Amino acid sequence: MEKSAKIYIAGHRGMVGSAIKRKLEKEGFENIVVRGSAELDLRSQQAVADFFEQEKPEYVFLAAAKVGGIVANNTYRADFLYENLQIQNNVIHSSYLNGVKKLMFLGSSCIYPKLAPQPLKEDYLLTGPLEDTNEPYAIAKIAGIKMCDAYRAQYGCNYISVMPTNLYGFNDNYHPQNSHVLPAMIRRFHEAKEQGLPSVTIWGSGTPKREFLFADDLAEACYYLMQNFNEPGLVNIGTGEDLSIKELAELVKQTIGFEGEILLDASKPDGTPRKLMDVSKLHATGWKHTIELPEGIKLAYEDFLSKQVITER
């Protein structure tokens, strides 16, 4: 990507999009185009067509999506399927019509079958049933990968797909009901510490294992792959390391300084038993993460505290 190139980041206000924007600015890119959802509804085919016609971006990072945790995914099943399909259909097709040089589509590790062998290799896609609670979201993301490949095959478009593992970091969502597991824990342990509570209850059995990648590391990987990767299919982006939800809770508890007990609510769903990414394909391209989980949780907690101060004011 030339430093003067016009780059559109779809979803620049989210955790992933904002991390990509910071990385590009740090690298000296100044011609970055962004629109908030109030200015551009990516679900609207006409609005997206008009935007691309007017702006003519040369490169696109498609990081916009309707996202949430287990409860949100399972509750708003129709919304997650419809809105994500609309967003990616509109952006990918308009990119083709307007001659975008390269597009990166960002998905999620939940695209893999629920009981796929671990660690998850890229070629395990579509080899078994999905986890039911996030099936609509996963189907939308799988459609996005296949759409990028189809436009590459039929029209010669240089569209690539990357699948990040569980993400956390600056600008995360700490909503009490709709957030992912790590930010939800940060909020819960923080509030329990503030209120002097004797315990914090975490959902499920505590045994599922999860992998976590700091969003700024993801942005580094996206920037690297945009420059160096040009193949159909997808690339996993992760650390290649995981830990149990109970171990994660202990780490968050320690970082925040909560001194009470951790309780488990086995009546709540566990989700997929394990979701460890095989990142050998990524490592073979020459990229590896740099921010380890204990350091990342500290950075995320500092960000959470800064947001709390703003809210309280």
- Kindly report, residue by residue over 98-109, the tens digit of the pLDDT: 999 999 999 988
Q: How far apart are CA 55 and CA 70, in angstroms?
A: 36
For residue 143, tell me if it sits in a domain.
yes
Domain assignment of residue 311, yes or no: no
Compute the C-alpha angle 120/124/128, nearest 5°: 110
Residue 140 in this model has a pLDDT that exceeds 60: yes
CA–CA separation, 139 and 113 (whole Å): 11
129 inside domain: yes
Residue 79, domain member (yes or no) = yes
Closest to 41 measured CA to CA, from 6, 86, 78: 86
Q: What is the chain's mean pLDDT, rounded? A: 94
Is the pLDDT reported for residue 176 higher than 90?
Answer: no
Q: Within a 10 A sphere around the Cβ of 311, how many other Cβ atoms?
A: 8
Q: Would 268 be classed as within a structural domain?
A: no
Catalytic residue positions, numbered: 137
Q: Which two tokens stand for residue 20?
A: 């990509």
| Confidence band for 313, pLDDT divided at 50, 70 and 90 | very low
Count structural domains, the chain.
Answer: 1
Find the mean pLDDT for residues 160-168.
95
Residue 197: how many other CB atoms lie within 10 Å: 15
**Given this model, what pLDDT does residue 310 score?**
54
Range of the domain at 121: 7-171+212-240+275-291
Q: What is the pTM of this model?
A: 0.91
Question: Which residue has tokens 């967003």?
Answer: 87
Per the annotation, binding residues are 11-17, 106-109, 141, 164-167, 180, 188, 203, 210, 270
pLDDT tens-digit profile of 207-233? 999 999 999 999 999 999 999 999 999
Could you give phi then psi for residue 215, rounded to 5 degrees? -60, -30
User: Would you say residue 203 lies in a domain?
Assistant: no
Which region, left, alpha or beta, applies to residue 256 given φ > 0 means left and ψ of -120 to 50 means alpha?
Answer: alpha
How confident is the model over 21-64, as pLDDT tens digits? 999 999 999 999 999 999 999 999 999 999 999 999 999 999 99
pLDDT band at 305 (very low <50, low <70, confident <90, very high): very high
Annotated binding site for substrate: 188, 203, 210, 270
Of the pLDDT bands very low, low, confident and very high (cuts 50, 70, 90), residue 124 is very high
DSSP 185-215: HHHHHHHHHHHT-SEEEEES-S--EE-EEEH
Residue 147 has pLDDT above 70, yes or no: yes
Report if residue 133 sits inside a domain: yes
Is the predicted pLDDT of residue 274 greater than 90, yes or no?
A: no
**Range 280-300 average pLDDT:** 97
Could you tell me if residue 313 is inside a domain?
no
- Residues annotated within the binding site for NADP(+) are 11-17, 106-109, 141, 164-167, 180
Which CATH number belongs to the domain containing residue 64 in this structure?
3.40.50.720
